[in-house]
A and B are shown apart, each in its own frame.
Chain A
Amino acid sequence: MLLKLESRAEPSRAMRYASPLLAVVLTLLGGLLVFSALGKDPVEGFKVFFLNPVRDLDGIAELLLKATPLMLISVGLAVGFRASIWNIGAEGQFLVGALAGGGLALAFPDSQSPLLLPAMLVAGAAGGAAWAAIPAFLRTRFNANEILVSLMLVYVAQLLLSWLVHGPWMDPDGFNFPQTRQFQDSALLPALIEGTRLNAAFMVALGALLAGYVFMNRSFLGYKMRVAGEAGDAARYAGFSARATVWIGLLAGGAMAGVAGVSEVAGPVGQITEFVGSGYGFAAIIVAFVGRLHPVGILFASLLMSLLYIGGEQAQQYLNLPSSISKVFQGMLLFFLLASDVFINYRLRWTARRAVRPAAVPAAAQ
């Protein structure tokens, strides 16, 4: 008896939707194993990690707060990913967006204008898009691989941020901490629920998901991008511009990552610090995949990833585990998803004997 993968006549729609759920279940089981391996009571660990974060309103507000940048970034990335444009540099675009938007708040310290916040969001989007325009330009003009270029720019953006907060933008009254001064109230996103940190950026993110849905599933341009991703030759034959696909794919991701950057510095952080990044740009890649590159999926996947982040913080506090355990779970989730996706196109079959290799020509091998 041998377990064998067999092609399905056509991809299973049911598995397409079941596979993320399967991945979640497997990640939870994997989590139990990890907790026991670390010598923690798995049930206790499970409670702290997955239930503690959402037991009251404050917890739920925090969950939505952390999900906000993930929703923003991954819906932008999904536009590119659908067209096989692999923007891996969202983390850098996030940082440059935070610098552009936050820089505006620093440039007008006395401004009480109600236009300041919208202007910061626009500046953030422009900053992120500008950073993403570099790989887009190098890809369309010189054919340089956008994965590697966008990724290299993450490190450059981190160094740019580090230079600014250690140098020209450092708060003179900040006891030499690498951070800017606190933003004035008019540059801070208003709270959505009084008494919690959840702010208006969450609504912006929901708007972005809706816009993403309309663009990807209801517009002709979005359709062209999808064709370009699934069948490049067909798209070329139909006269769709490969250049436009690259530009739109990268700029959408960059702009959204930039807005997410502003939502961090003008939201929970309230200033620019050296540690504003926290890996959202990379986590959003996982979110985009787990969410099936679909805005509704991305909404749920963002909430799940946000839960993993907060669970990690809880695990640090109550279980004495490093908070980076979140990243282990996040990675595990993506692995399980990639693995369960095989069942979309294949089914498992028990076969009685080993498959015979077709038409081996031993003579030719000699």
Chain B
Amino acid sequence: METHLFTAILFATIVAATPLVIVALGELVTEKAGVLNLGAEGMMAVGAIAAFATAHHSGSPWLGMLAGIGAGVALSLLFGVLTLTFMANQVASGLALAIFGVGLSGFIGKPYESVALPTVPALPIPLLADLPLIGPALFQQQPLVYLSWALFALVSWFLYRSRAGLVLRALGESPSSAHAIGYPVIAIRYLATAFGGAMAGLGGAFLSVCYTPMWVEGMVAGRGWIALALVVFATWRPLRVMVGAYLFGGVMISQMFVQGSGLHIEVPTQLLSALPYLATVAVLVVISRNPKLIRLNSPISLGQPYRPDA
């Protein structure tokens, strides 16, 4: 019995953490290029409904996820035009994108509120899935869970082992130097922003197509913001993004297990549901109390507009 519970908790934690991993890694790349896009919540919401609607009409969850990615990219390009071409304030534009995206998803999603999608089947990995305890939790997951691991490897490699990643990071630190040695700062920032948008859209798609195959207005429920907070906790490092996301996944599913454990704890369900948000605040406080840590690690040009020929 004990072992079953452990496996179940691990499994659920990984599933709950996956959208956070995907979205936060995307935002990490965007921020490394010096662009602060606070619109993740809106891009996730629109990605979720675009994916859901597409999966519903086409019958293919994969087309749905592509649609989610496309929606996220489209919104992030809108953000890019505002902030990179028109040099609008990134904080204000990101907030606008968050508010707009959530509103737009509610508008598009109205007709889909009582529709259900078939569950996406799990993809067990041969041999590994048979391992005791961790096998079923780690290797009988949905394909997107494996994809999130691949994404982690890819982003880590790209940022720290590839030449393009070096350029991206340099540009986040000092766009004017990068420009002086001939790199197209704005174009690279557009690409980084679009990647962040794609991942936010995919994260949203995971929620509506894989996690709970249905659409409810407001279902993103702050995960976009939590992903943004994760990037701060992680002090802009991929490995810590991963660890942070799994810790959060654990907090998110803890309420299910407290309720289902028969422990008879007299706690209002709302208090348990508030835990992820309270945990976000708590961890932000712990990380931020050392301002040097934040200042030394955050990309120096983060949030500042850049104009090449000024």
What residues make up the interface of A, taking CB atoms closer than 8 Å to B?
A: 7, 86, 88, 134, 138, 142-145, 147-149, 151-156, 159-160, 162-163, 166-167, 282-283, 285-286, 289, 322, 324-328, 330-332, 334-335, 338-339, 341-342, 345-346, 355, 357-362, 364-365
Contacts and interface: CB of A to CB of B under 8 A. Distances in A.
Interface stretch (B94-102, B129-137, B234-242): B94-102
A88 B88 contact: no
A331 B221 contact: no
A159 B274 contact: yes
B310 A7 contact: yes
B82 interface: yes
Given A153-B277, A342-B88, A330 B95 contact: no
Given A7-B310, A145-B232, A360-B182, A327 B99 contact: yes
Interface in B100-123: 100-104, 106-107, 110
Contacts of A331: 96, 99-101, 103-104
B291 A148 contact: no
B284 A144 contact: yes
B229 interface: yes
A361 B181 contact: yes
B95 A285 contact: yes
Contact of B289 (A142, A149, A159): A142
Give the dominant DSSP class at B's interface. helix
Nearest to B309: A355
A328 to B, nearest CB: 5
Given A151-B222, A322-B106, A327-B106, A338 B99 contact: no
Contacts of A365: 181-183
Nearest to B268: A163
Interface string B208-228: 000000000100011001101
Contacts of B288: 142-145
Contacts of B106: 322, 324, 327
Contacts of B268: 163, 167
B182 A328 contact: no
A162 B217 CA distance: 17
A69 to B, nearest CB: 16
Interface residues of B, number: 52
A152 B277 contact: yes
13 contacts: A143-B294, A147-B38, A152-B280, A152-B281, A153-B281, A155-B277, A156-B277, A327-B104, A327-B107, A361-B182, A364-B180, A365-B181, A365-B183
A148 B280 contact: yes
Contacts of A142: 285, 288-289
A358 B284 contact: no
Query: Quick one: which of A147, A148, A149, A153 has the most chain B CB within 10 A?
Result: A148
Given A149-B281, A155-B222, A334-B99, A324 B110 contact: yes
A20 to B, nearest CB: 14
B92 interface: yes
A144 B285 contact: yes
A325 B86 contact: no
A322 B104 CA distance: 11
B228 A159 contact: no
Contact of A338 (B86, B217, B277, B291): B86
A315 to B, nearest CB: 11
Query: Which are the 8 A-B pairs with shortest beta-carbon distances?
Result: A327-B103, A331-B100, A322-B110, A163-B270, A324-B106, A342-B86, A159-B270, A338-B88
B291 to A, nearest CB: 5
B293 to A, nearest CB: 10
Contacts of B103: 324, 326-328, 330-331
Interface in B68-101: 78, 81-82, 86-89, 91-93, 95-96, 99-101
Contact of A148 (B88, B180, B225, B273): B225
B278 interface: yes
